[in-house]
Amino acid sequence: MSTSEAIVKPSAVATSPTFARRFSISRAKEQLIRLSLLCCALISILTTVGIIFVLITESIFAIPPAKAFFQEVSVREFFTETRWTPQFAEQHFGVLPLLTATFLITGIAALFGLPIGLASAVYLSEYASPRVRGFIKPILEVLAGIPTVVYGYFALVFVTPWLLRPIFRDFLGFDVSIFNAASAGIVVGIMIIPMVSSLSEDALRAVPRGLREAGYALGSTKLDVSTKVVVPAAFSGIIASYLLAISRAIGETMIVVIAAGQSPNLTLNPFRSVETMTTFIVNVSLGDTPAGTTVYKSLYAVALTLFCITLMMNILSQWVLSRFREVYE
């Protein structure tokens, strides 16, 4: 600080007053730019504050004349009632059918997507030659970039009539409805494969070579090194990618809206039509529900539940990464 003053000041005085003025103007300009860039960065904070504000004012506390959802329906009813019938004359607001449907579909997706994603990550990181990797990675990126509405179409038009119905209805004799949780779950699973694969692969590749070579030096085969050395060493990264993928599956909207149907059944039967939290939110906004009614506000209560669940998964994933990370140096 003192050295820069010592250099700048005498020359500014000695040469001309315009230099000093120009210098202070440019200083002010620098500050202005810095401030406006800070504002850009603060917009992301504002977004979070906005989301929380919007969800809470409609569901927990409202601005006085209006009433929030939980001031009309008790929290107890919301979480213990087993019927979700907001559009009927006899209204029941029990979120359990929606929660069950969401977790049923997420469960099917996880069962399907997580192992395949991890196996493909192991292949890309441990087995594939650079050429094969360079060929497969862009294809997985394309798969990750396909809009979910397209996946929804795929589930409804291809998976149910061409895969599920021939196997489970015609061959095994289950009653498979056109809209069902299984097709949505399978396709959500397909959707999360690229995400699990790419995040887990990053974790696997971060395991230092030395560990693998130590494994080989002890006479291990590639299978032993992969499953007993590399995967355990990258475990925190793999779990974090699993949690992120599950959180993504829980918040997935268009696939389930198109393929899983709209009947809020409390069921674990994957071949029946169910309504998830996201489907309900979409259905309310597609209909002509006037703002201010309890049904309209229930949208915010469901969204708040969804937001809390996904936020917890994300935080958990970050915690796993930082808490259980193996640091090699």
| Site residues (CB under 8 A) for another protein, limited to 31-60 | 33-34, 36-45, 47-48, 50-51, 54-55, 58
Closest approach, Cβ 67 to another protein, in A, equals: 14
In angstroms, rounded to a whole number, what is the distance separating the alpha carbons of residues 220 and 230? 12
> By C-beta, is 1 or 291 nearer to another protein?
291
Using CB under 8 A, pick the residue from 160, 252, 261, 297 that binds another protein. 252
Q: Which of 325, 318, 320, 303 is CA-nearest to residue 98?
A: 303
Q: Is there a contact between 196 and 118 (Cβ–Cβ < 8 Å)? A: yes
Q: Is 246 in the site for another protein (CB under 8 A)?
A: no
Using CB under 8 A, pick the residue from 16, 26, 71, 80 that binds another protein. 26
Using CB under 8 A, pick the residue from 180, 241, 247, 298 that binds another protein. 247
Q: Is 142 in the site for another protein (CB under 8 A)?
A: yes
Q: Which of 262, 250, 253 is CA-nearest to residue 306?
A: 250
Q: Is 84 helix (H, G, I), strand (E, B) or coil?
A: strand
> By C-beta, is 12 or 128 nearer to another protein?
128
Q: Is 141 in the site for another protein (CB under 8 A)?
A: yes
Write the CB contacts of 2 (distance below 8 Å, at least 6 apart in sequence).
none
Q: Is 221 helix (H, G, I), strand (E, B) or coil?
A: coil
Q: Is 75 in the site for another protein (CB under 8 A)?
A: no
> By C-beta, is 116 or 174 nearer to another protein?
116
Closest approach, Cβ 173 to another protein, in A, equals: 26
Using CB under 8 A, pick the residue from 108, 122, 195, 238 that binds another protein. 122
Of 10-18, 68-76, 92-100, 146-154, the window that binds another protein (rule: CB under 8 A) is 146-154
Of 13-21, 83-91, 234-242, 243-251, the window that binds another protein (rule: CB under 8 A) is 243-251
Q: Interaction with another protein in 282-311: which residues (CB under 8 A)? A: 282, 285-286, 291, 299-300, 303, 306-307, 310-311
In angstroms, rounded to a whole number, what is the distance separating the alpha carbons of residues 316 and 65? 38
Using CB under 8 A, pick the residue from 94, 97, 152, 185 that binds another protein. 152
Using CB under 8 A, pick the residue from 85, 177, 253, 265 that binds another protein. 253
Dmax over CA atoms of the chain, in Å, equals 97
Q: Interaction with another protein in 172-201: which residues (CB under 8 A)? A: 190, 193-194, 197
Closest approach, Cβ 282 to another protein, in A, equals: 5
- DSSP lists the bridge partners of residue 84 as 93
Q: Is 146 in the site for another protein (CB under 8 A)?
A: yes
Q: Is there a contact between 95 and 302 (Cβ–Cβ < 8 Å)? A: yes
Specify burial of residue 17 (Cβ count, 10 A radius: 0-12, 13-18, 19+).
exposed
Q: Which residues of 237-251 are buried (b: 16+ CB within 10 A; e: fewer)?
A: bbbbbbbbbbbbbbb
Using CB under 8 A, pick the residue from 13, 15, 115, 322 that binds another protein. 115
Question: How does DSSP classify residue 289?
Answer: P
Q: Interaction with another protein in 218-237: which residues (CB under 8 A)? A: 221-224, 226-227
Q: Is 165 in the site for another protein (CB under 8 A)?
A: no
Query: For the residues of 141-171, what is the DSSP string, one character each?
Result: HHHHHS-HHHHHHHIIIIIIIIIIIIIIIII
Where are the strands (E) in the chain, listed by range?
none
